C-alpha cells in the first residue's frame, strides 16, 4: 500500500485530503508543522508528499528543496495563491505537480495516482540515484532535476525538464509530438500536441547556442523530434 504524508496546517483541508485518499486505498499521515513535517519526510519512508506552501516554522519552499536534495519521491505542492504557484514553478524546486486551493478532492486523488504510477515506472526501469546524462556540454542530473549548459545552470519548469530528460535518455530515436505528449502529460486532460512544440521551443532557448540550428533536439519534419548524440 502506498504511504502518503500530507504536510498542511489547515486541519480541515488536511482531514478532507486524508479522507479521500484513504477511501482510495492509500495509507495517509498528516503533519501540521513545517519543521516536524520536514524531519518526518526525510527520516521516514513515504511514497508521495502533499505539501502546503505556507506552514509554521519551515515553509513549503524549503521543505521541497530539502526533500529533493535527498529523495526522488513525488511531491505535489498546494497553495491558496495562484501567484505562489507561478513562483514555485519559476524556482524550479523539483516539485512534480502544483495545485491551487480550493481544488476538488477527486482531482487530488487522480493526480496522486498518476504520480505514483509514474514514479513506480521510473523505479521499475532501474534509474539510479544521481543519474547524470552528459552530452557535448549539456549536463542533466535526473535525481536533482537540474540542468547545466557549459557549466551554467539553467532553470527548467517541471514539464520542460521531463521532456528534455526523456528525449536525452532515449537518444537518436524519433518521437512524434503525440507520443511525447502522452509520455510527459499523461495524467492531464488539458492541452494538446501544440504544448509539445511550445515546450521544445523553450528548452531550445535555454540549451541551444543557435535555436535556428539546434545541436541537441533536432526537428524531423513531418514526424517529430529526435535527441542527437
Ligand atoms: Ca498553510
Q: What is the pLDDT of residue 127?
A: 47
Dihedral of the alpha carbons of 222, 178, 217, 152, in degrees to the nearest 10: 150
32 C-alpha vs ligand 1 centroid, how far in Å? Answer: 9
221 C-alpha vs ligand 1 centroid, how far in Å? Answer: 48
4 C-alpha vs ligand 1 centroid, how far in Å? Answer: 18
Q: What is the pLDDT of residue 191?
A: 64
- In the predicted model, residues of the chain with pLDDT beneath 70 are 89-90, 124-130, 186-191
13 C-alpha vs ligand 1 centroid, how far in Å? Answer: 9
- For residue 46, report the phi and psi dihedrals to the nearest 5 degrees: -125, 160
Measured N-to-C along each axis, helices 193-207 and 158-168 cross at an angle, to the nearest 10 degrees, of 80
Mean pLDDT across the chain: 89
50 C-alpha vs ligand 1 centroid, how far in Å? Answer: 12
96 C-alpha vs ligand 1 centroid, how far in Å? Answer: 19
63 C-alpha vs ligand 1 centroid, how far in Å? Answer: 13
Dihedral of the alpha carbons of 119, 219, 188, 74, in degrees to the nearest 10: 20
Q: What is the pLDDT of residue 34?
A: 97
Q: What is the pLDDT of residue 140?
A: 94
54 C-alpha vs ligand 1 centroid, how far in Å? Answer: 4
118 C-alpha vs ligand 1 centroid, how far in Å? Answer: 27
Other C-beta atoms closer than 10 Å to the C-beta of 52 total: 24
Q: What is the pLDDT of residue 29?
A: 98
34 C-alpha vs ligand 1 centroid, how far in Å? Answer: 10
81 C-alpha vs ligand 1 centroid, how far in Å? Answer: 11
Tens digit of each residue's pLDDT (9 = 90 or more) over 22-67: 999 999 999 999 999 999 999 999 999 999 999 999 999 999 999 9
7 C-alpha vs ligand 1 centroid, how far in Å? Answer: 9
68 C-alpha vs ligand 1 centroid, how far in Å? Answer: 20
Cα(123)–Cα(47) distance, rounded to whole angstroms? Answer: 12
**How much is the pTM?**
0.56
56 C-alpha vs ligand 1 centroid, how far in Å? Answer: 8
Q: What is the pLDDT of residue 186?
A: 65
Grid cell in block for residue 21: 485518499
Amino acid at each position: 500500500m502506498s504511504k502518503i504524508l500530507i504536510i498542511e496546517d489547515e486541519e480541515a483541508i488536511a482531514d478532507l485530503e486524508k479522507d479521500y485518499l484513504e477511501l482510495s486505498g492509500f495509507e495517509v499521515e498528516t503533519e501540521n508543522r513545517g519543521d516536524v513535517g520536514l524531519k518526518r519526510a526525510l527520516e521516514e519512508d513515504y511514497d508521495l508528499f502533499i505539501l502546503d506552501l505556507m506552514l509554521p516554522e519551515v515553509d513549503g519552499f524549503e521543505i521541497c528543496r530539502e526533500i529533493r536534495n535527498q529523495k526522488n519521491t513525488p511531491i505535489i505542492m498546494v497553495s491558496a495563491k495562484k501567484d505562489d504557484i507561478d513562483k514555485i514553478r519559476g524556482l524550479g524546486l523539483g516539485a512534480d505537480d502544483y495545485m491551487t486551493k480550493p481544488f476538488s478532492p477527486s482531482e487530488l486523488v487522480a493526480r496522486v495516482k498518476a504520480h505514483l504510477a509514474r514514479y513506480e515506472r521510473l523505479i521499475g526501469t532501474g534509474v539510479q540515484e544521481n543519474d547524470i546524462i552528459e552530452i557535448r556540454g549539456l549536463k542533466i542530473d535526473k535525481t536533482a532535476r537540474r540542468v547545466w549548459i557549459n557549466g551554467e545552470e539553467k532553470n527548467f519548469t517541471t514539464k520542460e525538464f521531463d521532456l528534455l530528460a526523456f528525449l536525452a535518455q532515449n537518444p537518436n530515436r524519433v518521437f512524434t509530438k503525440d507520443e511525447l505528449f502522452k509520455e510527459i502529460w499523461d495524467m492531464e486532460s488539458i492541452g494538446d500536441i501544440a504544448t509539445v512544440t511550445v515546450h521544445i521551443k523553450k528548452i531550445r532557448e535555454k540549451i541551444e547556442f543557435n535555436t535556428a540550428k539546434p545541436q541537441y533536439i533536432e526537428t524531423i519534419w513531418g514526424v517529430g523530434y529526435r535527441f542527437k548524440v
